[in-house]
Amino acid sequence: MNKTILTTASILGVITIILGAFGAHGLKQLITAEAIQTFETGIRYQMYHAILLLFVGSTPLIHQKTKKRMYYLIVFGILFFSGSIYGLATNTLTSFDFKMIGFVTPIGGVFFILAWVFMFFDFLKNSI
């Protein structure tokens, strides 16, 4: 599981850098400054959680069961939270109305929160 977590973290990091560069350079002329800020929020949270996955995959301080839970919560959190934010920020560029799926943004946020909570309780249970 650790290798999967670390590989996923690396891929998410690369995607974050690519999307960040695209947002900074490719989208500036296409969407409003407010939409750019929204897009950057998605980037920030994706990178925070890619880094968290690097920690989770490389530490022996978290039990494997908790790592697995955190992995899925973070991956789906990124898909729901950051993914929906990317769609909402670039909504004017597509024919699909991303506002219809905007309800998944807070669900992704809850997934992030739960991942951190699972880690917190695992640390409390763990005799470090």
Condensed to tens digits (0 to 9), the pLDDT of residues 12-56 reads 999 999 999 998 888 888 988 898 999 999 999 999 999 999 999
Range(s) of the domain holding residue 99: 2-125
Specify the number of domains making up the chain: 1
SS3 128: coil
d(Cα 110, Cα 81) in Å, to the nearest integer?
A: 9
Condensed to tens digits (0 to 9), the pLDDT of residues 47-98 reads 999 999 999 999 999 999 999 999 999 999 999 999 999 999 998 888 888 8
